[in-house]
Structure 1
Amino acid sequence: MNMMLRPLLIQIQSYLMQPRVWRLLGSASALIGLISYALSSSFSQLFGGWTLFKIFAYSIFSIIICLMILFAKLWQQLKGLSSEAHMAFFVLTITSVYSYFSDKEMKGKPDAYSVTSYAAFAVTSLSLQRQSESHFGFEVDLLYFFLGCVIVQFMKIDLWLGFVGIGFSYSLIILRSSLDAPAQNRHQRFHDQEHLVVEVSMNPLQVNNSISMLQEAPQTGLEAKHLPSMEERLWADLAVVNMLKCNLNNYLQDKVDRIPEVLVSDHNFLIDEIPSQVLIDLHVSVGTMIVTGLEKECVDQYCSWRREFVQLAEKELWTQEIDEKRRIKSWIKASNVSLKILFPNERRLCDRIFLGFPYLADFSFAQICNEFTTNLLDFANGFANGSHMLNLLPSVLQVFGLLHELIPEFESLFLDQFSVSLRTEAATTGRRLREAINGMFMQLEKLIKCDTSQAACPGGICPVTVEVMNHVNAVGEFGSSWLSAEVTRIIAMLESHLEAKSKHYSNPALGSVFLINNGRYIEKKAKQYQLDKILGNHWIRQRTAKVRENCEHYRRSSWEEVLGFLKLGMPNVEEAESMKKKLNLFNLRFKEIWMDQSAWFIHDEELKEEIIIPLGKIMSHTYGLFIWGFKSMLGRDADECIKYSVLDIDDLLKNLFSWRDE
């Protein structure tokens, strides 16, 4: 349970450390507090009933308060020491005057609006305190004032409800304390660093010795004193990479489709493997070297160490397979691990080591990740540079799909001026891959327009249908609306082409069989390739309905005329002769149709049964009634004219579409 909750708690904590979150929360809580107070009994008792002037004045006051809280950082930049003191005195005076008149005028128990307003104002005070490292100077006092008001309000409603107010106040104070802890730790580290710098600056001999030592060996000074040896560093990096591979074993071995979420959410996953004392020593060493003028040597040493680790991880994660499918799969895994685990950890490690020097942290991060990221993008660019060959469409779609999914990671990681080129290159590569896919869809369009192929059997599946559906099979796993539109357009063009080709058959029934076979093939492949994910179930149902419509066209064009010969008339001599002629025509036409259609083939067995079984029932029933009436009128003479029994008709129909491609 702790392992499951840990990522969630980390994520919540990371959100609560962002000033923007508190800025929005503070503005929202101030608005809620002002509205609640306007509706409360406290307001009416202190200021009387509402008038147009009061509504206008209170609205202006509320807007000013909300804007001040929303843009608190701007106000902080404008304030000086004197203005800070004046503002603190102003807030103290306002709260004191309000307390005096509130205690004097308030009668009766407060309502829920009053309690809500004080609680909201307490949250607003906390938000002001959380929005930046420098504060106005009165936020904590204001927080305690409103928390005290919350407790008093609850106690006035009911003495026992005071515990609710106490619980709310305690939770808010504990939240403030827990959120301030990291900032206090950072302040302490800065204090230690400043103390070290002051100590060095007060000892010129020590400074001269340090500078001389570092200048004599600029490439090894940091390593020799503060980093492990090359051999120790290599073994440490190997241990971390092996630990990473162990945690990702199921993903790398294709046993799961995604990286475990707990590894993605824990942004200190790899940093935790480095002893904390090493990180502290490195941070202090970095500060020392920078203030003594060895900034370049410091960055070079750090980047060299971390590049070696990233290169080692790249070698272990990205295996250069010979088979293209396996090579793409390896690239996908390496891209996912690097963008979701490796690079975020390097980003946070840079921020920790170069704490207080964000410029150098950004530069170092760009240097460390540049080569691996460039290699990943070069691989993707190789597919974008292809000759738009149709057989590459599944591969290009896979690469494009993964890159499209990782764009948010590129945008969040490579924000600074040194690595923004990597983000730009990722967007450019994605755009070029999309252009390549568009080119391949144009090739499919050309393939359909230039098609003159013939089906292997009469009315069978057209080769271009097979080729087009095989090429779009990789699209099903992507939910892009752009791809959906392209696939819909290509299949609609294919269907129009098939409709036109069906008209070339002299026998309309064979044209219907051609559309039945190709329509069912498109429908089945769309389901098999999960194109319904991007085209929708409605699109699939339309294809099914179209196939059944063509089945009905086939039945009418083939057998409606034959069934017309089996109509019964009034029992008389003239009708008996007419029935003989009808039966002879039926025998002749039935044989012709059956002989022709025995050379046709319905590729889908289920669909074949759906056509033949209902047709057999109708034909057997109609023919049976006709023969019964015919025998009733002619007696024994009827047997000479009857060529087929009812069972013969049924058996012959079951053998329709019996052609086989040997």
Structure 2
Amino acid sequence: MGGYESEVPAEGDLIAAAQHIVAALGTKKMLSQDERKILVDLRTRLSTMTMVDDTKTNEPPVNGVSETEQYLNLVSERIMNRVSDETMIWDLGPEDACEYLKAVEEARILTEKLEGLCLNKDDEEVELLRKAHDVLQTAMARLEQEFGHIIVQHSQPFEPEHMSFRSSEGVGVVGSPCSLEDDPLEDSLRRESVGKNLEDFIVDLVHPDVIPDLKCIANLMFISSYERECSQAYVTARKHALNRCLFALEVEPLSIDDVLKMEWGSLDSQIKRWVWAIRIFVRGYLANEKRLTDEIFGDFGSLSSMCFTDSSKASVMQLLSFGDAVAVSPRQPEKLFRVLDMYEVLAQLHADINSMYTDQAIRDEFCEVLRRLGDAVRATFIEFKNAIATNASINPFAGGGTHHLTRYVMNYLKLLTDYRDTLNQILEEAERVESLSPLADSVPFWDEMKQFDGTCNATPMAFHFQSITSALLANIDEKSKLYKDTALQHFFLMNNIHYMAQKVKSCELRDIFGDDWIKRHNGKFQQQAMNYERATWSSILSLLKDDGSQNSGSNSSIKNILKERLKSFYAAFEEVYRNQTGWLIKDSQLQEDLRIKTSLQVIQAYRTFIGRHSSEISDKYIKYTADDLENHILDLFSGSQRSLSNIYRK
């Protein structure tokens, strides 16, 4: 301490200096803080030098008490006077704190000197050393208490909802997670970017003004071999702070049983909150917690790392426990997006955790939860395909439109494109691990994928997406068989295959499925449209064809044949109108195209028939003009059933 003895002064110079100090003190009524510190330091040095000299020269004690014991009693009295007062010393001000630290430092130096001098195991010296140890232990216990009090008293709240952060992109605000009322599918399962730039986010978790005091206490306790007590005080105080942070982030301590019992709506909200919170907790809070620990204990080697680990481990494990619970919960397709969100945020934070922790247990648990979430993603993805394949219907889908399953599956796949890199990584890693298993199929995954469709992008995601759409097509084909009307079967398949092709063509799915897939499925839906036209109109339009039967026989019989044909045509047309106005095509372009194509065939055949036989057919038997029929055809596929049975041309 002090550091002002670079040279040993002569005896006369020392006496002169001491006389000068005494004279200066005589003119002062108050001392500055620096002056008091120097004098206390001087007194410590004088006392220690006296003690050593006393021990070396073996001078007889005064009144039975050696100068060393007198000095120990003096130091003890100064310490005990503070310890007996319940008022926190550092709350009294810097001067009182400095005085106490000086007294503790004197006790430490005295104890060290006695330890070095008690080599002969003299009973009196051993007893004196024991007393010195007791004094130092009492002083350290109070320092431990003061240390914890300072941390708690000067901790600053962590308020993520309102904090600003510095990043390479400027100043931003850490926002709250998206509305917990949003639908997980329709809102595209918004993946919050909050916290992604928190690496440069700096907040003082303890007021910076008290950091020098904490470092000073920690240093004194460390060199006094009381680092364990100091670290315990720190860990206890910071554990509470970390728990308060999780409370502020609204992260509940949930067990696996709690998670398994949750309804999906509640669990969905909890996962959203967790994804948002863990990123802020790790990059916003833990990073600054590590900085605080290093500021205080950075000079003491591994102590800093140990304190950080011990104070934060429980909180980190609580967060990971929730991730683990979700990973082992039942596989349900609606969970996939949320599980992917959880996987992605942990993958993003993996490097942060490795850089902050040397503790292998935390690193291993982090990796294990990440692996389990990846397994859950793949298993849920497979379960989604199985759910499509086994989705059964008892009744045919009304109107033959695009089935809810088709819409759901294609929109589901579209939303998954946001996770393309993550899904490919998970699926590829899973297939790689399986390929190394002795139970793996003889055909490697990549060969099987190429055999499935050599034209698609060679990625695991593309393979699985095509596998899912194949399962969907098979299911839709089974559902089409519920219709008794063959035309409606083809109409239903046309609608659904067209929806699939258009969905892929119009969004990011195009890059995954490829143009060849779109071309093939366009061909499939066009084939179904052609099959529908044949099933609906072939027999009807055959009534208007000139097959030669109306050219034989008498004039009256020819007129009767033509009249019956026309009557049958009208009846069949009205039946189609009554049925197919109730059929539905939601896609306006497909609806218009099919109406126009139907109109061209029907109107051309009708006009030809009426024109060819205008002399044989009286106007009174012509129920509709060509324009009437054209307008009626424009009513088809609107999903609202109508009737023409009571409509006649005026």
Same fold (TM over 0.5): yes
CA shift for structure 1 position 524? 7.4
Secondary structure (helix, strand or coil) at the match of 2:291 reads helix
Partner of 2:586: 604
Partner of 2:240: 308
1:453 equivalenced with 2:358 (yes/no): no
Does the Cα contact within 8 Å between 2:490 and 2:529 map onto a contact in 1? yes
1:655 equivalenced with 2:625 (yes/no): no
CA distance in 2, matches of 1:227, 1:312: 16
Partner of 2:475: 497
Does the Cα contact within 8 Å between 2:151 and 2:234 map onto a contact in 1? no
Secondary structure (helix, strand or coil) at the match of 1:453 reads coil
CA shift for structure 1 position 565? 5.2
1:216 equivalenced with 2:138 (yes/no): yes
CA distance in 2, matches of 1:552, 1:560: 11
The 3 A distance-change label for structure 1 pair 539 and 592 is same
Instruction: Give the one of 264, 273, 285 matched to 1:342.
Output: 285
Q: Deviations over 1:127-166 (max 9, x none)?
A: xxxxxxxxxxxxxxxxxxxxxxxxxxxxxxxxxxxxxxxx
Instruction: Give the one of 413, 433, 436 matched to 2:376.
Output: 436
The 3 A distance-change label for structure 1 pair 476 and 620 is same
The 3 A distance-change label for structure 1 pair 232 and 275 is closer
Instruction: Give the one of 568, 593, 602 matched to 1:588.
Output: 568
Gaps of at least 5 residues in structure 2 are 1-100, 114-130, 166-171, 180-189, 253-261, 428-460, 643-650
Does the Cα contact within 8 Å between 2:215 and 2:297 map onto a contact in 1? yes
1:442-521 correspondence to structure 2 within 5 Å:
442-450=382-390, 451-457=392-398, 459-462=400-403, 464-465=405-406, 475-479=416-420, 480-481=423-424, 482=427, 485-502=463-480, 505=483, 507-520=485-498
Does the Cα contact within 8 Å between 2:541 and 2:602 map onto a contact in 1? yes
Does the Cα contact within 8 Å between 1:477 and 1:533 map onto a contact in 2? no
1:85-100 correspondence to structure 2 within 5 Å:
none
Does the Cα contact within 8 Å between 2:403 and 2:496 map onto a contact in 1? yes
* CA RMSD of superposed structures (Å): 4.6
Partner of 2:350: 410
Secondary structure (helix, strand or coil) at the match of 1:327 reads helix
CA distance in 2, matches of 1:412, 1:497: 46
The 3 A distance-change label for structure 1 pair 373 and 231 is closer
Does the Cα contact within 8 Å between 1:351 and 1:358 map onto a contact in 2? no
Does the Cα contact within 8 Å between 1:200 and 1:207 map onto a contact in 2? no
Partner of 2:607: 624
CA distance in 2, matches of 1:307, 1:519: 58
The 3 A distance-change label for structure 1 pair 442 and 399 is closer
| Residue identity in the other structure for 2:198 | V
The 3 A distance-change label for structure 1 pair 285 and 501 is same
Does the Cα contact within 8 Å between 1:502 and 1:514 map onto a contact in 2? yes
1:270 equivalenced with 2:248 (yes/no): no
The 3 A distance-change label for structure 1 pair 661 and 470 is farther
CA shift for structure 1 position 315? 0.8
CA distance in 2, matches of 1:202, 1:231: 27
| Residue identity in the other structure for 2:477 | E
| Residue identity in the other structure for 2:137 | Q
CA shift for structure 1 position 651? 3.0
Partner of 2:259: none
The 3 A distance-change label for structure 1 pair 326 and 405 is closer
CA shift for structure 1 position 379? 1.6
CA distance in 2, matches of 1:361, 1:536: 55
| Residue identity in the other structure for 1:259 | V
The 3 A distance-change label for structure 1 pair 447 and 201 is same
Instruction: Give the one of 229, 232, 235 matched to 2:150.
Output: 229
Partner of 1:58: none
CA shift for structure 1 position 505? 4.8
CA shift for structure 1 position 521? 5.2
Secondary structure (helix, strand or coil) at the match of 1:300 reads helix
CA shift for structure 1 position 466? 6.1
| Residue identity in the other structure for 1:512 | H
Partner of 1:421: 361
CA shift for structure 1 position 495? 0.8
1:251 equivalenced with 2:156 (yes/no): no
CA distance in 1, matches of 2:513, 2:232: 53
Does the Cα contact within 8 Å between 1:602 and 1:657 map onto a contact in 2? yes
Q: Deviations over 1:219-259 (max 9, x none)?
A: 652452x56536623xx322x54796466866116499433
Give me the identity figure in percent. 20
CA distance in 1, matches of 2:510, 2:297: 50
CA shift for structure 1 position 335? 1.0
1:362-381 correspondence to structure 2 within 5 Å:
362-381=305-324
| Residue identity in the other structure for 1:251 | G
| Residue identity in the other structure for 2:492 | F
Query: Of Structure 1 and Structure 2, which has the larger fraction of its residues in helix?
Result: 1
CA distance in 1, matches of 2:544, 2:315: 79
The 3 A distance-change label for structure 1 pair 656 and 587 is farther
Does the Cα contact within 8 Å between 1:383 and 1:396 map onto a contact in 2? no
Does the Cα contact within 8 Å between 2:540 and 2:569 map onto a contact in 1? yes
Q: Deviations over 1:152-203 (max 9, x none)?
A: xxxxxxxxxxxxxxxxxxxxxxxxxxxxxxxxxxxxxxxxxxxx9xx97998
| Residue identity in the other structure for 2:349 | E
Does the Cα contact within 8 Å between 2:603 and 2:630 map onto a contact in 1? yes
Instruction: Give the one of 306, 325, 345 matched to 1:382.
Output: 325
Q: Deviations over 1:513-558 (max 9, x none)?
A: 1113333555677799976686678867765664444333322443
Does the Cα contact within 8 Å between 2:297 and 2:304 map onto a contact in 1? yes
Instruction: Give the one of 359, 367, 376 matched to 2:302.
Output: 359
Does the Cα contact within 8 Å between 1:566 and 1:583 map onto a contact in 2? no
1:398 equivalenced with 2:317 (yes/no): no
CA shift for structure 1 position 303? 2.0
CA distance in 2, matches of 1:301, 1:650: 89
Does the Cα contact within 8 Å between 1:214 and 1:221 map onto a contact in 2? no
Instruction: Give the one of 193, 204, 207 matched to 2:109.
Output: 204
CA distance in 2, matches of 1:551, 1:384: 45
| Residue identity in the other structure for 1:394 | E
CA distance in 2, matches of 1:455, 1:212: 89
TM-score w.r.t. length of structure 2: 0.58
CA distance in 2, matches of 1:254, 1:457: 37
The 3 A distance-change label for structure 1 pair 590 and 340 is farther
1:550 equivalenced with 2:484 (yes/no): no
The 3 A distance-change label for structure 1 pair 503 and 438 is same
